Each structure stands twice: as C-alpha cells, then as structure tokens.
Amino acid sequence: MNRKKKMNKVLNAKIKKANAKNQPSNKPRYISKAERAAAAEREAE
C-alpha cells in the first residue's frame, strides 16, 4: 500500500468516527441493576 493511500485511509477513518459521534443515539441510557431495584422499590412505596 502506498504512503498516500495509507494516510488517506487513516484520516478517513478518523473523520468517520468523528461524524458517528455527532449523530444522535437512539439507545436508551443504561440503568444499572442496583438503580433499577431502587427505582422499583420507590415505586412500590
């Protein structure tokens, strides 16, 4: 692989990662098992 192609590959990968970080995520925020148990306990009361 020549030098220019290698550099472009590395730079494009960095750009792709940066763009992916800027996109909004559809995943819900992670809630730990302990927090879920505490929330369920509060709901029961």
Sign for the pseudo-dihedral over CA of 5, 11, 13, 19: negative
Q: Please count the other Cβ atoms lying within 10 Å of the Cβ belonging to residue 3.
A: 7
Q: Can you give the pLDDT of all 45 residues of the chain as single tens digits?
A: 799 999 999 999 999 999 999 998 888 999 999 999 999 999 887
Residue 28 structural domain = 3-44
**pLDDT value, residue 44:** 87
Cα 19 from Cα 33, distance rounded (Å): 32
Number of domains in the chain: 1
**pLDDT value, residue 26:** 87
